[in-house]
Structure formats: structure tokens, C-alpha cells
Structure 1
Amino acid sequence: MLLLIATCAVYIWIGFYFSKKVKTASDFLIAGRNLPLPILAATIAATSFGGGCLVGGVQWGAERGLWVGMYSTIGAALACFVNAFFAGKLRSLSCDITPADYIETRYGHSIFLRAYQCLVTPISILAIMGSQLISFGSVSTAFGIPYDIAVIVGVIVIIIYTYASGMWGVAVSAFIQLAICVVFLPIVAYISLKLVGDNPLLMLQSMVKEPFFPGNKSLSDFMYTVLPLVLGSIFSYESFLRYQCADNAKNAVKSSVIAGFILLFLAFPIGIIGAIGGSLFPNISSVQVLPQMISTTLPPLVSVLFLAAILAAIMSTADSLMTSMSAIISRDVYNKLLHPNIEFNDLKNTLKYSQIASALTAIIGAIIALKFDSLLELLFWPAPLCTGVIFAPFVIGLSWKGATKKGAICAVIVSAILAFLNMIGLLTVFDRILVPIIGGSVTIFIVSKFSKKD
């Protein structure tokens, strides 16, 4: 309990301390394009490393062993490595702040393309925000804190430091949150290995010798986990905003690579903890393995360290989502759609709207977590309309000079139709994300070939 209180106090102090660096909306969203390399790398890694990687990884490890428990975090690491190929080019576009800005820079002004992103992306953000806060409340109960109180307190803390200092507070907090995971998770993994044998190294060697794809479904599970992470992160608001926080293009690339290696390092203790938990509790549900280890198996101090790492991972994702929503509301809607002829930082109240949007995101996420958790499935349902649809105009446009505005618009329309047909069950061929990606990619190539550049 004391550790949790102390950690929250540090985050609040960070918010107030770095608030003096926030003078404009650009400072709030992209930290004045001046984040130091270590902090930038940490916030990129922390953004991907949420409750899904840690809690979900332990569950999969308990079910099917070390390597399967690492799949999600490996996917996040691969996403960082892939992003490194694009980060430098995207950072060099110094007038851009959001992914929708890049689309406009690449194809020219299009209300349709920007408005589409503004409509579908917030749904995904709220879904993930709600799920992160549900995880936060559930894990906090192990500290003896009631679920409702944990969610409310957690949201208040995140709102304070994000509202006050924007990306500066988010990035510096992420550095601390990631450091907690980097230090504590290997300790927990080592203690876990000692629970099942006197020779932890020998036990680890035995686990490593297991096949990377241990079952018939393992390859498909790996691809199902990794593909959305890799394909979606290239143009996600969370990633794009962080590229723009770098002081130059080279550091944007370096930070993505460093973040990838940090995540690969974290993947091992997650897989180990999950695999050991599965061997210790073979007769219970994998969902119950984590709380069972915390409450009955690990030494009290180690349990506290483990809980601190889990909460840090969850908070690092939640605050990133808040800045993403801020960018959509203040930059994409208020500035580019409603006042396109005025410079972002010259437009009245952009900073205020950025702050309000971040706070409202957390509040709505808390309401979902407290009262309407059944809405989560509904909110995640339209995910293909985001990742699957935006891929072609963004990634194809980034890598192929022949892509045109008409091609991009047609690609969005076609892939959105394919995504919707998949969502309602009329088109069920293979993966629901890949279907619109392939359809959109084919469309942008064909239409661009037969249309002139604007």
C-alpha cells in the first residue's frame, strides 16, 4: 500500500514539475519536439507494454509455456523494430503532429480522410482505456484496495499529471514505470524459478529448449497476436506522437530500436513467470494463476514488487491513450477540420481543449470500467475499421510514390466496406484485420495507376 501511495505521489509531482514546460498545445502533445533519447525510448516501449503484454503474457505462459507467454511482448518489440524504418521519415515532416497530418501532407487536403480517422480512432482508444482501467482495478485489489476506489484513485492520479504536463509528464512517468518493470520483473522471475527447483539456471535451460511453436495452433496464435501489433502501430496516434517528440529524425529511429530491445528483454521474465505459475497450479484456470501466485506463493515483498510492475505497465498505456485523444480533438477536429486556416499554436484555446480531452478520456474510461464493462466487447468490435482501413493510405503511401489521393480515398471506402462485412459475419475469410488491409492495398494500387496525382 505504501509503495503504491509513494508511486502515485511521484507521478503527481512529475505533473506539476513539468507543467512549466507546457506553454502551447504543441508542447502538450509532442513535448516541444525535445524529449531526451532515453526518455523517448522508454515512452515508446512503455506505450506498447501494457496490461495485455504482462497480464495476458502470464496467462498464455501458464497455459502453454515460456515462449507462448512471450508472444505478445515479442510482437510489441517487433512493432518497434518495424517502426524504426518509418520513424525517421515521419519525424522529418516537421509540420506534422498526428497521423492524419501525414495523410494530408502526402495526398493533399481531404476532409473525408481526416474525418474518417477522427470518427473511428476514438472508439478504439476508449475501448483500450476501459480495459486498462479494469485491469488496474482488478490488480489493485491484491493490495487490499476495493476495485471501485482503485479505479477512481488511479484515474485521478493519471489525470493530474497528464492534464498538467501533457507529453512531458506522460514520458517521464513512463520512464519510471518502465524502470520499475525492468528492475522488478527479472527479480520476480528468478524467485519464481527457485520455487520449483534449487537450480534456477538449469530450470531456465530446460524451458528454453521447448519449441517456439509448441502446439498445432501456436503459429496461428503467434501471427494473430503479432500482426495487429506490428501493422497497427505504424500509424497509431501513440507511436506517431512519439516520433514527433524526438529532436531529430535520427533519434526517432534510435529510440524505436532501443525500445524494441527493452521489450525483448522484458519478454523473458514474463514468459518465465507464466510458465512457472502454470506448473505450480496446473489444475486452475490460467486467469487465476497470476492472483494465486501473488496471494499464496511468492514472498510478500516479491508480491508487492510484482504488483507494482503490473500497475506501472497498465498506467503507461492509459496515459498514452489520453494524449492520443487530445491530439484528435485539438489538432484534427478543432484545428484542421474547424479552423484549417489558422496555425495550431496561434488558435485560441487549443491547449485548454487538449487538456480537457485528455481528462475526459480517462473519465469515460473509468465510467466504462465501473459501470459499463459489458460495453467493451462492443467498443472493440469495430477495430478492423481502424487498423484494417487506415493501413493502405498510410503505409502504401509512405513506401510508394505513385499513390494518389483518389487511390487513398477509394482504398478507405473499399476496406471499410470489407471490414464492416466481416464485422457483421457476411465475410468471414481468414483474419478480420488482413481482409481490409489486402482489399485496401489492392484498391490503392489499381485506382492510383489510373488516376493522376492531384
Structure 2
Amino acid sequence: MGVLDWIVVALYFLVMVAIGIYAKSRIKDAADFFVAGGKIPWWLTGISHHMSGYSAAVFVGYAALAYTTGFAVYVWWALGITIACGLGAWLFAPRWPRLREQLGIISPLEYVAKRFNVPTEQVLAWSGVALKVFDVAAKWSASAILLQVFAGVPVGWGILLVGGVTMIYSTIGGVWADVLTDFGQFLIQLVAAIALAVAVMMHLDGFSTIWTMWDELPAGHADPFAGTLTVPFFLAYILISTLSYNGGTWNLAMRMISTPNGREARRSMIFSGVLYLVWPLVLFFPMWAAPILLPGLADPSQSYALLVTDLLPVGLVGLVLVGMFSHTMAMTSSDSNAIASVVVRDIIPLFRKGRSFLPAKTELLFSRFITFLFIAGSMVIALTSDSFGGVLGLLILWFGALVGPVAVPMLLGMLPWFRRSGSAAALISTALGLATFALNRWAWPAWIETLGANGQAWTVATPVIVSLVSFIVIGFIRSEEKPETDALLASIESDAPAQPSAAPAAPEPSVRGAADA
């Protein structure tokens, strides 16, 4: 990294902090801090949803998969998410802003107290918060690895640098800072990724490299499925992505909640799906070509970073680096915002008399404080990420396998087809899914190894499948149909008629009391 590269990186961090300070003027209360009062336009929500859906881990862990397996990484990851977004645009996305309009929610779990009961809300809240710490920690580790390759900065200092800047603007500006920085980061990585793609073409066969390079790559690199990225793993990932990208990952639910209505939420989800279909082709192109330019690489996870330092001039190296940082900061800042909303709106009221929400000013103060604590805690986990299997271990084996059991009752609970499934189905299905993960991790690893390439698919898929099946079956065995559940589900089936003069729905302070009753 040259001096000009460091200037680009420093300016990027300063701009991110400046956006956070600017966004602070839009924050008057916790509703503004978490969901912008439902005022974020669909196109900005779509870009933010896309940017918040992946991080620098793509340029580390997924770059390694692209180097060793080829095109299969696009089919498994990007195409799988595109399908998930298409399903979500029809099933889930429009229901999130309708829940805000009906119940005044500013946390993705607030409605769970009314749909099921308070214990279910608390189980999902506590388990989801613990799970997300690991996921965000993986993102910090990936960013730090990139900074180490680019500039020789020790991993620990890299985690503190990227995490510290994100902590500043997220704590100050809330969701408005998140979506505005997401947009700026999208533009930066657009320029950076195209620059590297063009550089790769210039060093090979020009524009024709797009189709000629496959003959020079190792056998099987053009196949849609290869290595551990098998058809069963692809199908498992579609299932997990459908749950994760439509609200099981809370920060993505928050993006939908922040849109004005169901129609706008659907448009934003479709837009995000289109971006996932097209943009990863540009991102992965240099990674696919890396075995030609960097043959016999000992550590494939460094392939993308090495391509940048080898092929790009001073200045553009820094731009590509901040482009990769942008994904991590987009995801982790929105994750922190979502976690804080759950802690402030779902967990803290449990310890207050009458389970009431905090006073408005105190709620905003706690929102910022919890955001700060969550980012700090995730950085501590990142500093010890090797204990959990490294970056890919945290991403695929821990988060990928555990997100399903937490997401199943929350997402399926919004659909009228599963109205028979009540609190018992929600709690038991979550417990069985988590137990399945524990068995895979500690009781059955030797047997799973005998499955060969499909062992990873088994590890990731079985917890969510167990949760899904048990949630449905228990609903039929122990039906908990209630008139209030039917009324809630009916109210989020379609957008309410437009009433420009009507005031926004206020939060219902009695939600927890009604749920207990």
C-alpha cells in the first residue's frame, strides 16, 4: 500500500463518520433510530438489503472457494440468494412493514409476543442475540485478514480499526446512517470491482477472457456443482437463505420494516434479488481467473487481495480495499442496529414493572449504548475466531446451521397456513433444531465424515429441517388456533387503504400483557 492508498482509506473512514454525524439530525426517538419511521424509499432499501447481506468474508472465504472450485460458488451462493429473495418478495417482505403499521413494532421480534407469547419472544431474542455475535465476529476477522494481506497490519489491530469506525457511525446515526453509508459503499465497490475486473482482462485475453479462461482453469471449474458445493448443499442453502434473507437475519427484517408499506417492501426485495443475480458475476470474475494468474497458491483465501496488490496501481489498491471493507461495515452496522432493537424492545421490558417500554429519551440512549456493547463484544469474539473454526467455520457451520431454528417460528408465524402452530410448536421446534446442531457438532462428527462431500450439507441442513418439520407437525398435533391470531394474520395479508391524513400507528404498550393473558 502506497501513501495514496492510505489517503483513500483514511478519507473513506472519515466520510463514513461524517455520514453518521449527518444522520444524527434525523434521529428524534428509538423509532427513528431503528426503522426511520418507515420512510426509507424502496430503491435505497433494496441497495441496503443487498449490501447488508454479505461482507468482506466474500473476498476471503468465498474467494478461496472460487479459487478451488470455480463457478459453483456463484450457483451455490448468489443464485441461491436470488431464489430466496424471489420467494421472500411474495411471502415475507410485504408483511414486515404491515406489522409496523398494525402494531407499531420497531423490532423484528416484537410481534412474536402477540403471535405466540412472551416466553417464545424471549427464547428467540436471547438465542438470536448470542448467535449473531458469532456471525458478526466472522466479518471482523475477514476484514482484518484483508488488511493484513494489503498492508501488513496485525489481525487484532485490523479488527479494532474497522470495528471502531463502524461503532462510531452506527452508534450516532442509527438506521439512517446504515442505509446512507450502504449507498455510498455500493458506489465505491461498484467502481473498485469493475477496476479489478478490467485489470484481469488486460492481463489475459481482453474482454474475451470471460469465456476463454475456462479452458485454462483446472478441470471442473466451469461446473455448476463441485467439491463440497453439491446439489444437496445448494438446496439446503436455498432453504436457509430464504429464512435468513427474509428476516431470520434480523437486520434484513429491519430493512423491510423501514419501508413505507408492503408494496414498497416487495419492490425493494425484488431489486435486491436482481443485484444478487447480476453483481456477483462481476465480483467473482477475478476470483475465477486467479488460478491462472496466481497458480499453486498456498492460501487461496488471500487470492483476491493478492490480485489487487499485483494488478492495480497505487490509489486503486486503497479504493478496492475500502470497497471490500464497505460490505463488512454495511452488514455489521445494520446487524448492530437490529440487535439493539431486540434488546431494547424485547429483552429490557421483561425486567420492568408491567413489562413496559423505556421512556422515549431513555430508550434512545439505551439504543445507542446497546449498539456500542454489541459491536465491542463481537470484536472480542473475532479476536479469538480460530477457536470456532476460523472465518468459514463461523459463517457456514455456526451461523448457517443455527439461523434456521431461530428463524422458523418467527417467519412461518406470519403466514396464515401455519396459524395452528402456537407457542408450543415455536419453542419445541427451536429446541429440537438447536439440539440437532449440537449432535452434529459434538456427537456425530465421525459419522458425518463418512458422507464425504455431502457431510457439510447434512450439518447445515438438518437443524433447520428438524425445526421446520416439528413446527408444522406440532401445530397439527397440538393446535393453538385463536381468534386474535387469525385477526393479526388477516391484517397483514394486504396493505391498508391509503389515508394521507392519518397519523402513524403508535406502539401498543399492552402487547406483552395481552400475550400473557
Scaled by the length of structure 2, the TM-score of the pair is: 0.79
Contact between 2:420 and 2:480, CA under 8 Å: does it hold in 1?
no
Which residue of structure 2 lines up, in the alignment, with residue 57 of structure 1? 62
Cα shift readout 1:314-370 (whole Å, capped 9, x = no counterpart): 2111212211221121111113564565356x4562111111111112222223334
Distance in 1 (alpha carbons) for counterparts of 2:95 and 2:242:
18
Cα shift readout 1:70-110 (whole Å, capped 9, x = no counterpart): 64233333333332121102221122333322323323x23
Which residue of structure 2 lines up, in the alignment, with residue 318 of structure 1? 332
1:153 counterpart SS class: helix
Structure 1 residue 14: Cα displacement: 0.8
Which residue of structure 1 lines up, in the alignment, with residue 276 of structure 2? 263
Structure 1 residue 64: Cα displacement: 2.3
Which residue of structure 2 lines up, in the alignment, with residue 213 of structure 1? 225
Distance in 2 (alpha carbons) for counterparts of 1:211 and 1:276:
15
Opposite residue 423 of structure 1, the aligned amino acid is: R
Distance in 2 (alpha carbons) for counterparts of 1:263 and 1:349:
39
Which of 137, 140, 145 is the matching residue for 1:138?
145
Instruction: Single out whichever of 35-44 and 226-235 deviates more from structure 2.
Output: 226-235
Distance in 2 (alpha carbons) for counterparts of 1:9 and 1:297:
27
Distance in 1 (alpha carbons) for counterparts of 2:252 and 2:140:
21
Opposite residue 356 of structure 1, the aligned amino acid is: F
Distance in 1 (alpha carbons) for counterparts of 2:286 and 2:18:
33
Contact between 1:87 and 1:253, CA under 8 Å: does it hold in 2?
yes
Contact between 2:401 and 2:459, CA under 8 Å: does it hold in 1?
no
1:374 counterpart SS class: helix
Opposite residue 374 of structure 1, the aligned amino acid is: D
Structure 1 residue 435: Cα displacement: 2.3
Distance in 2 (alpha carbons) for counterparts of 1:375 and 1:307:
27
Which residue of structure 2 lines up, in the alignment, with residue 100 of structure 1? 109
Distance in 2 (alpha carbons) for counterparts of 1:438 and 1:222:
14
Which residue of structure 2 lines up, in the alignment, with residue 415 of structure 1? 433
Distance in 2 (alpha carbons) for counterparts of 1:217 and 1:152:
33
Structure 1 residue 301: Cα displacement: 4.1
Which residue of structure 1 lines up, in the alignment, with residue 241 of structure 2? 229
2:443 counterpart SS class: coil
Instruction: Single out whichever of 421-430 and 256-265 deviates more from structure 2.
Output: 421-430
Distance in 1 (alpha carbons) for counterparts of 2:157 and 2:438:
38
Structure 2 unaligned regions, length at least 5 = 1-5, 216-221, 449-456, 483-517
Distance in 1 (alpha carbons) for counterparts of 2:134 and 2:109:
21
Structure 1 residue 384: Cα displacement: 7.0
Which residue of structure 2 lines up, in the alignment, with residue 77 of structure 1? 82
Which residue of structure 1 lines up, in the alignment, with residue 382 of structure 2? 369
Instruction: Single out whichever of 169-178 and 282-291 deviates more from structure 2.
Output: 282-291
Distance in 1 (alpha carbons) for counterparts of 2:314 and 2:307:
11
Which residue of structure 1 lines up, in the alignment, with residue 288 of structure 2? 275
Contact between 1:37 and 1:255, CA under 8 Å: does it hold in 2?
yes
Which residue of structure 1 lines up, in the alignment, with residue 96 of structure 2? 90
Which of 110, 131, 155 is the matching residue for 1:124?
131
Which of 406, 414, 419 is the matching residue for 1:390?
406
1:289-300 alignment runs, 5 A limit: 289-300=303-314
Which of 319, 322, 326 is the matching residue for 1:308?
322
Opposite residue 321 of structure 1, the aligned amino acid is: D
Structure 1 residue 168: Cα displacement: 0.6
Instruction: Single out whichever of 139-148 and 152-161 deviates more from structure 2.
Output: 139-148
Contact between 1:136 and 1:151, CA under 8 Å: does it hold in 2?
yes
1:99 counterpart SS class: coil
Structure 1 unaligned regions, length at least 5 = none
2:481 counterpart SS class: coil
Kindly tell me: are residues 432 and 55 of structure 1, through their superposed partners in 2, closer, same or farther at Cα, counting changes over 3 Å?
same
Cα shift readout 1:209-232 (whole Å, capped 9, x = no counterpart): 933235685434534554433332
Structure 1 residue 181: Cα displacement: 1.8
Instruction: Single out whichever of 292-301 and 232-241 deviates more from structure 2.
Output: 292-301
Structure 1 residue 383: Cα displacement: 4.1
Contact between 1:11 and 1:161, CA under 8 Å: does it hold in 2?
yes
1:123 counterpart SS class: helix
Does residue 329 of the first structure (1) align with residue 343 of the second (2)? Answer: yes
Does residue 156 of the first structure (1) align with residue 156 of the second (2)? Answer: no
Contact between 1:392 and 1:440, CA under 8 Å: does it hold in 2?
yes
Opposite residue 78 of structure 2, the aligned amino acid is: T
Distance in 2 (alpha carbons) for counterparts of 1:58 and 1:437:
26
Contact between 2:213 and 2:289, CA under 8 Å: does it hold in 1?
no
Over the matched positions of the two proteins, sequence identity in percent amounts to: 17
Scaled by the length of structure 1, the TM-score of the pair is: 0.89
